[in-house]
Amino acid sequence: MASRGIRDRVAIIGMGCTKFGELWNKGIDDLLTDAAVEAAASAGLPIHDIDAFWLGTMTSSVSGITLSRPLKLDYKPVTRVENFCATGSEAFRNACYAVASGAYDTAMAIGVEKLKDTGYSGLTGIRAVGDGTDPGLSSPAAFSFLAPSYGHKYGVDKAQMKEVMSRIAFKNHQNGALNPRAQFQKEISMETISKAPLVAGELGVFDCSGVSDGSAAAIICRVEDAHKYCANPLYVKALSFVSGPAAGPIDPGYDYTTFPEVVRSAEDAYQQAGITDPRAQLAMAEVHDCFTPTELVLMEDMGFATRGTAWKEVLAGTFDRDGELPVNPDGGLKSFGHPIGASGLRMLFECWLQLRGEAPPERQIATVSQGRTLGLTHNLGGAPGECVSFVGIVGSELGD
């Protein structure tokens, strides 16, 4: 038994990503069409020549017909997948395995979410008939448990924690301000962030990711075929996915300062990709900053900072766009927006731009020109103590 991975067996040859935001004039069909057309154009491969499709959406629709109908696909396999907020990454992972297996020559992974048609400002979730015993806390409340727990464990007082959280939002807004596809293209001052009305616990409005509409897509093929379509493809180095036993809410041993699922999936991904020092080897990381304390804890869970030190690294700017390891250079869920099914592929889209030197000069990260070739995407769904976690690694060089 082992998680062996499929390092350097498949490559990304084209990607597309819509602008994210409150897209009142775009329906799910428009979003899927825009992302698919852009991805196909970037690969130089007509949509109708792609062999198979994996569609990720959490709440916006069901079944493969959601994609085959707007794209008028001629009797191709379309699989709809859902795995909470990691849905987009799950679509990508399964498409990669299908191509790696030899079953198909080419595949598209596409994610979409249309959240702004519900009439509610936050996520409304998928709700099956229940027994009425679920406490029904909101997502911000579920994640708000992290901040005081972290502060208590590592001796960071409430005011310092607020500053650290605000600093993460500030950085991600700075990054999003330069990104024409982001939902919020505006810098927000530390003061505005820290004084915003509270949503849950210590989380203010600016500690929460943007609720938005959007879609993103990737086209993949076997590595040996990649150069038929693309001069500079991205190679898939690692794909790891973990679903936990949901121990946190029932295990007194869980202390709300870590995501055990993230630790496991990161370890697995590093092993698949042969990474031993992620902070030094990665050019960038796109992580699941659904709420600011999440990003803080992820820095430690993924080995970018040792336990109890990430808060200092955040304040020191280690993860800024011009820092030692840029994290969420595209603005992250925080300011790029979080259309659930699309987010995992949106993260990959930033790797696609940055690692291949296609990001605009004003926001191109320096680590790439320093010779780093690897990018990480991390996508989680659920809540602290009961989540699913994806860690993927892509690179611009074979064998690295």
Partner 1 sequence: MNAGIVTWGTYLPYWRLQRAAIAQVLGSGPPKGSRAVASYDEDTTTLGVEAGRRALALGPAMPDDLLFSTPAPGYLDKTSATTLHAALGLDRACAAYDFAGSPRSALGTLLMALQSAPARRTLAIVSDLRTGLAGGAEERDAGDGAAAFLCGADGADGAVAELVGRGSASDEFLDRWRVPGETDSHVWEERFGEEMYVPLAREAFAAALKDAGIAESDIDHAIVTGLHLRAVKAVTGGLGVSAAAIAPDLLASVGNLGAAQAGVALADVLERALPGQLIVVLSLADGADALVLRTTDALPAAQAARQAAGVPTVAEQVAAGRSDLSYAAFLAWRGQLHREPPRRPDPERPGAPIVHRSEAWKYAFSASRCAVCGFRHLPPTRVCLECHSVDQMQPERLADVRGTIATFTVDHLAYSLSPPVVGVIVDFDGGGRYRCEMTDVSVPELAIGSRVEMTFRRIYTALGVHNYFWKARPLQGAPVVPEPASTPASTPASTKE
Given the residues 173, 338, 351, 378, select the one marked as catalytic.
338
Q: 56, 379, 332, 325: which is closest to 208 by C-alpha?
A: 332
| CA distances for 7 relative to 3, 236, 266, 286, 392, angstroms | 11, 6, 15, 19, 11
Q: Which residue has the tokens 């990720």?
A: 56
State how far the Cα of 245 lies from the Cα of 264, in Å rounded to an integer: 13
* Sole binder of partner 1 in the list 62, 137, 159, 316 (CB under 8 A): 137
DSSP 55-101: EE-SSS--STHHHHHHHT--S--EEEE-BTBTHHHHHHHHHHHHHHT
CB of 264 to partner 1, least distance (A): 16
Active site residue 351: no
Q: Shortest approach of partner 1 to residue 254 CB, angstroms?
A: 8
User: Among 49, 117, 251, 322, which residue interacts with partner 1 (rule: CB under 8 A)?
Assistant: 251
Question: Using CB under 8 A, which of 22, 192, 225, 254 touches partner 1?
Answer: 254
Q: Decide if residue 140 touches partner 1 (CB under 8 A).
A: yes
Find, among 161, 115, 200, the residue nearest to 293 by Cα: 161
CA angle, 195 as apex, 189 and 200 as ends, to 5°?
A: 120
Q: Which of residues 185-214 bind partner 1 (CB under 8 A)?
A: 198-202
DSSP category for residue 232 = S
Instruction: For residue 48, indicate whether it is catalytic.
Output: no
**Residue 250 binds partner 1 (CB under 8 A):** yes
Q: Interface with partner 1 includes 136 (CB under 8 A)? A: yes
- With binding defined as CB under 8 A, does residue 131 bind partner 1? yes
Q: Interface with partner 1 by CB under 8 A: which range of 9-17, 148-156, 275-283, 320-328? A: 148-156
* Residues 153-192 interacting with partner 1 (rule: CB under 8 A): 153, 158
52: DSSP letter:
E
By the rule CB under 8 A, 242 interacts with partner 1: no
- Radius of gyration (C-alpha) of the chain in whole angstroms: 20
The answer to the question of residue 120 lying near partner 1 (CB under 8 A) is yes
Burial of 127 (0-12, 13-18, 19+ CB in 10 A): exposed
Minimum Å distance from CB 347 to partner 1?
Answer: 26
What residues numbered 68-97 form the site for partner 1, per CB under 8 A?
Answer: none
Nearer to partner 1, 187 or 255 (CB): 255
Q: By CB under 8 A, which span of 58-66, 209-217, 253-261, 343-351 interacts with partner 1?
A: 253-261
For every residue of 303-332, DSSP letters joined together read TSS-TTTHHHHHHHTTTSTTSSS-B-TT-H
- Give the one residue of 75, 129, 277, 371 binding partner 1; rule: CB under 8 A: 129
**Looking at the chain, which runs of residues are DSSP E strands?**
10-17, 52-56, 78-81, 106-113, 198-200, 203-204, 214-222, 234-243, 282-286, 374-383, 386-395
Our CA angle for 172, 374, 55, nearest 5°, is: 70
Window contacting partner 1 (CB under 8 A); options: 120-128, 267-275, 315-323, 392-400: 120-128
The span of 32-40, 64-72, 122-130, 218-226 binding partner 1 (CB under 8 A) equals 122-130
Minimum gap (Å) between residue 108 Cβ and partner 1:
33
Q: Which of 17, 85, 230, 351 is catalytic?
A: 85
> Does residue 151 belong to the site contacting partner 1 (CB under 8 A)?
yes
Q: Does 138 bind partner 1 (CB under 8 A)?
A: yes
Cα-based angle 352, 383, 349 (whole degrees, multiple of 5): 5
For the chain, the farthest-separated pair of C-alpha atoms sits apart, in whole angstroms, at: 60
DSSP state of 21: B
**Of residues 140 and 176, the one with the C-beta less far from partner 1:** 140
What positions carry a catalytic annotation? Answer: 85, 338
Question: Which residues bind to partner 1, rule: CB under 8 A?
Answer: 120-122, 124, 127, 129-133, 135-138, 140-141, 144-145, 147-153, 158, 198-202, 245, 247, 249-252, 254-257
